[in-house]
């Protein structure tokens, strides 16, 4: 019997909502309980909102990766630094070698819609059986549904709803153990 896709997105409306703070809070909550959560979330400012210039942070180690490039004050272009993002996605690739109980992928946005960003790593984690939680801005909801074929769970921007989904995933997913040299 096929298992349901263990993929969910917190749907949010705008950048003034502290969705990234929610991802950090969840990772800290479960990691303190001994339930390993790994991945990337946007680095935060003092108000708990996405920091400028943009950076992502490893939710386990706190290591930050700059993903912004300086295009000048007059630029209207996206300031995302593809090489910085490529460096950061090493955290997600590392999660394939040491699978967590849940992987956080900081965004499903325009880059992922265009086949870039963290899209490949998100798919690799799912193919490896690692549950994935991400965030999606409401304006990208149609593309998100196209990407996941309607098989993912859309979550309200609510700590209780997200924890309920995570707890359900942890209840269905066995704890992974690393085989010792004697067992290999």
DSSP per-residue string spanning 80-102 = B-HHHHHHHTHHHHHHHHS--SE
Q: Which of 43, 40, 71, 72 is nearest to 55 (CA)?
A: 43
The two structure tokens encoding residue 78: 């996206």
Q: What is the pLDDT of residues 125-134, one digit of tens each?
A: 999 999 999 9
pLDDT at 155: 98
Q: CATH homologous superfamily for 7-67+77-172?
A: P-loop containing nucleotide triphosphate hydrolases (3.40.50.300)
Q: What is the pLDDT of residues 70-126, one digit of tens each?
A: 554 554 444 567 778 888 999 999 999 999 999 999 999 999 999 999 999 999 999
Report how far residue 46's alpha carbon sits from residue 53's, in angstroms, rounded to the nearest whole number.
Answer: 13
More confident residue, 147 or 68: 147
Can you give the residue ranges of every domain in the chain? 7-67+77-172
More confident residue, 182 or 38: 38
Element (H or E) spanning 135, and its range?
A: strand 132-137
Report how far residue 21's alpha carbon sits from residue 65's, in angstroms, rounded to the nearest whole number.
Answer: 17
Average pLDDT over residues 7-25: 95
Which string of b and e fits 69-88 if b means at least 16 CB within 10 Å?
beeeeeeeeeebbeebbeeb
Percent of the chain with pLDDT over 70: 85
pTM: 0.88
Q: What is the mean pLDDT of the chain?
A: 87
């Amino acid at each position: 019997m096929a298992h349901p896709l263990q993929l969910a997105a917190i749907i949010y409306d705008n950048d003034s909502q502290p969705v990234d703070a929610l991802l950090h809070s969840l990772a800290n909550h479960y990691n303190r309980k001994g339930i390993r959560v790994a991945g990337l979330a946007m680095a935060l400012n003092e108000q708990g909102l996405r920091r400028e210039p943009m950076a992502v942070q490893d939710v386990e180690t706190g290591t930050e990766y700059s993903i912004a490039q300086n295009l000048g004050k007059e630029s209207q272009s996206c300031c995302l630094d593809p090489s910085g993002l490529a460096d950061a996605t090493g955290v997600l690739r590392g999660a394939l070698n040491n699978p967590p109980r849940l992987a956080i992928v900081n965004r499903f946005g325009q880059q992922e819609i265009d086949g870039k960003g963290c899209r490949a790593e998100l798919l690799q984690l799912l193919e490896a059986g690692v549950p994935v939680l991400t965030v999606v801005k409401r304006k990208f909801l149609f593309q998100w549904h196209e990407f996941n074929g309607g098989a993912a769970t859309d979550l309200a921007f609510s700590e209780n709803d997200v924890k309920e989904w995570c707890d359900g995933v942890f209840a269905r997913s066995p704890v992974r153990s690393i085989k010792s040299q004697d067992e290999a």
